[in-house]
Each structure stands twice: as structure tokens, then as C-alpha cells.
């Protein structure tokens, strides 16, 4: 399928969810281009290019509006290896991110802004038709005044599996990741989750996900669902 017959490149989304017990409403806009959970038709499988991807949240109980994430740039190439070709998968990104951080030792976690840059390389394979498994080694740099010494830097690793039918009517992604921030604000962040997408029409889809996280000796759940329209 040629690109002009796939989804349009600028999605908007409205949704809702819960982060660490706090209910929120969500709005998202991305001027371009395509991410790994979007319908593949017309786009390169295993490739993601995001520009100026903005997600806003409104935490209803606290009447707290905030930018949850602003991706200045996020590029991923998850290229499967086979008997003839051995491409290296890679990713790089930089973004403003609302991270949960302790306001004092052993205190509850609260929303704080950090600027996060990350990148890595890895390997990918197709264990079966329409399945894509990957593993990455990566590094993350967080910068912000809420962090000890204003920064947190460390290595990490991630792995996951995309799966869905040949029709691409739906797709699932199960993943796990760990980052050991060993410089600056020291902690070990772990994540494990599942996300899915159901295509309703060529230009509409429902996306949902749930992630369990652990950091600073706290564990919490993030879950959400959204209606996405491509225009």
C-alpha cells in the first residue's frame, strides 16, 4: 500500500486514565509522522518518526493541568534480522517529560518536569509472520532542578514484542525496561507493560495500555485509553 493510502500523518487523541491513583483527562496532538503502534499500511514496518508530539493531562481531583510529555524528536528503527541481512536496530529521542519524583526522602512521589534525552542500539527478529521481537541496550540523561545535582544519568535495557494479524486490524505490544540512574539523582527505574491498538476506520483507532512501574522504592500503575483520529 502506498503512503497516501495509509493513515494521515497528524493524529489527534482524546482519552482518560489513571497515574499512581490520580485520574486524568488527556489530549494529544502530533503534527507528524508515524509511530510503531499506528496502523502500518503505507508506512515502513518497524520505523517510527515523531516530531513535536504534545500530550496534555488534566488531573481532575487536584485541578492540575500540565504538559505530560512534549517529544521534540523521537526516531526508532526496529529492523528484523534474517539469514541474509543483519541490520542494527537503533533509537534516539529528546523530550520534556513529567516524571514522578520524591519531594523529600521517603516522601510520596509528585509530578516534576525533566528534560529527557535517550538513545540506544539493539537487535530485532521476526519469530513468526506479523511478529516483531526486539532487545535494546540504551542510555538516558534527565536534566531538571527537581533532581539531585540537577541531573540523572544511567544505562539501561529494554525488550518487547509486537504482534497482530496480517490484516493489521489490531496490534499488541508487550514490553519491559530498566534504567539504572547511577550519576546524579540515583535510582533504578523499572517498567513492564502492555499496550494495544484497534483500528476502527482507516483514519480512526482506539488505543489502550497498562504499565507497572517501580522507582525510588515506590510502585504504581499507569493505565489509559484514547480515541485517535488521523487528519
* Rounded Cα gap, residues 11 and 24, in angstroms: 20
Q: Find the CATH number of the domain harbouring 87.
A: 2.40.160.40
Beta bridge mates, 207: 197, 226
Please count the other Cβ atoms lying within 10 Å of the Cβ belonging to residue 110. Answer: 14
Residue with cell 496532538: 29
The pLDDT of residue 4 is 53
pLDDT digits (tens, 9 = 90+) for 100-141: 999 766 678 999 999 999 999 999 999 998 899 999 999 999
Instruction: Give me the chain's average pLDDT, please.
Output: 92
Which residue is listed with cell 494521515?
8
Residue 208 and residue 26: Cα distance in Å, rounded? 12
- Enter the C-alpha cell of residue 177: 525496561
What are the residues whose beta carbons fall under 8 Å from the beta carbon of 110, sequence distance 6 or more?
100, 101, 102, 103
User: From CA 95, how far away is CA 52, in angstroms rounded?
Assistant: 9
| Predicted local distance difference test score (pLDDT) of residue 229 | 94
Q: What is the spatial distance between Cα 63 and Cα 213, in angstroms, rounded to a whole number?
A: 24
pLDDT tens string 61-74: 999 999 999 999 99
12 contacts: CB under 8 Å, gap ≥ 6: 27, 28, 29, 30, 228, 229, 231
Share of the chain above pLDDT 90, in %: 76
Domain of residue 138 covers: 3-230
What grid cell was written down for 99?
516524571
What pLDDT score does 152 carry?
Answer: 98
Low-confidence stretches of the chain (pLDDT < 50) are: none
Task: Please give the tally of structural domains in the chain.
Answer: 1
What integer pLDDT is reported at residue 31 of this predicted model? 84
Amino acid at each position: 500500500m502506498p503512503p497516501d493510502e495509509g493513515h494521515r500523518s497528524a493524529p489527534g487523541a482524546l482519552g482518560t486514565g489513571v497515574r499512581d491513583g490520580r485520574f486524568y483527562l488527556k489530549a494529544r496532538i502530533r503534527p507528524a509522522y508515524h509511530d510503531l503502534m499506528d496502523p502500518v499500511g503505507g508506512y515502513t514496518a518497524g520505523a517510527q518518526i515523531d516530531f513535536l508530539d504534545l500530550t496534555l493531562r488534566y488531573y481532575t481531583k487536584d485541578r492540575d493541568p500540565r504538559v505530560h510529555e512534549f517529544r521534540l524528536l523521537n526516531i526508532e528503527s526496529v529492523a528484523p534480522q534474517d539469514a541474509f541481512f543483519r541490520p542494527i536496530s537503533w533509537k534516539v529521542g529528546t523530550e520534556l517529560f513529567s516524571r514522578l519524583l520524591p519531594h523529600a526522602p521517603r516522601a510520596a512521589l509528585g509530578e516534576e518536569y525533566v528534560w529527557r534525552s535517550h538513545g540506544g542500539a539493539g537487535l530485532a527478529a521476526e519469530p513468526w509472520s506479523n511478529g516483531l521481537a526486539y532487545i535494546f541496550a540504551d542510555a538516558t540523561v534527565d536534566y531538571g532542578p527537581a533532581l539531585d545535582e540537577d541531573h540523572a544519568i544511567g544505562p539501561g535495557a529494554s525488550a518487547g514484542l509486537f504482534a497482530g494479524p496480517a490484516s493489521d486490524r489490531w496490534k499488541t505490544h508487550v514490553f519491559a525496561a530498566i534504567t539504572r540512574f547511577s550519576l546524579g539523582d540515583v535510582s533504578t527505574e523499572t517498567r513492564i507493560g502492555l499496550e494495544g491498538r484497534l483500528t476502527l476506520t482507516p483514519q480512526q483507532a482506539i488505543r489502550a495500555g497498562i504499565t507497572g512501574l517501580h522507582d525510588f522504592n515506590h510502585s504504581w500503575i499507569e493505565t489509559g485509553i484514547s480515541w485517535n483520529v488521523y487528519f
